[in-house]
Amino acid sequence: METIFDKDVRGQLIDRIGQINEFQKPEWGKMNLIQMLKHNTYWNRWILGKDNHSYKQVFLGKLFGKIALKRMIKNGKPFDKNIPTSDQFKVKESTGDIESEKADWILLINEYETFSHPEFIHDFFGKMTNEHIGILVYKHTDHHLRQFGV
């Protein structure tokens, strides 16, 4: 199973991010290209423990989070289209510098080489192993790259 902690997988994702250009349109979902890029930089900063993020599991996550996590990462199947996201990860700003956002995302992807964030608690899935985090980050990244045809 692919994981962000594999150097070759990170390289493949970085290559795909590099292919993004201003002409790409979403194949599904409500985000435009800059919103997708900003969503991913914000989301990865959260996973990596950058900035001042909150790490609390919501009540519904306490009830169903572990079951949902197992279902989402149990195999190599990509995430479904149009899966919901938490409000904190919805980007309203729809303009920005595509190349700058791509560069920021690539820098964050590279930081998984030395990942260490033992305090991380997913807002829905709760406490996760590094193995689970690695698979989730890969699938999340792949999901959004597929969303824009790369």
Determine contact, residues 122/56, Cβ cutoff 8 Å.
no
Write out pLDDT tens, residues 87-132: 889 999 999 999 999 999 999 999 999 999 999 999 999 999 999 9
Residue 2 belongs to some domain of the structure: no
Q: Which domain holds residue 101?
A: 7-147
Residue 1 belongs to some domain of the structure: no
Cα–Cα distance for residue pair 97/72, rounded to 1 Å: 32
Token pair belonging to 86: 């938490």
User: Percentage of the chain with pLDDT > 70?
Assistant: 100
**Look-up: residue for tokens 């979403």?**
26
pLDDT band at 52 (very low <50, low <70, confident <90, very high): confident
How many domains does the chain fold into?
1
Q: Taking Cα atoms as reference points, which of 63, 29, 6, 55 lies closest to residue 148?
A: 29
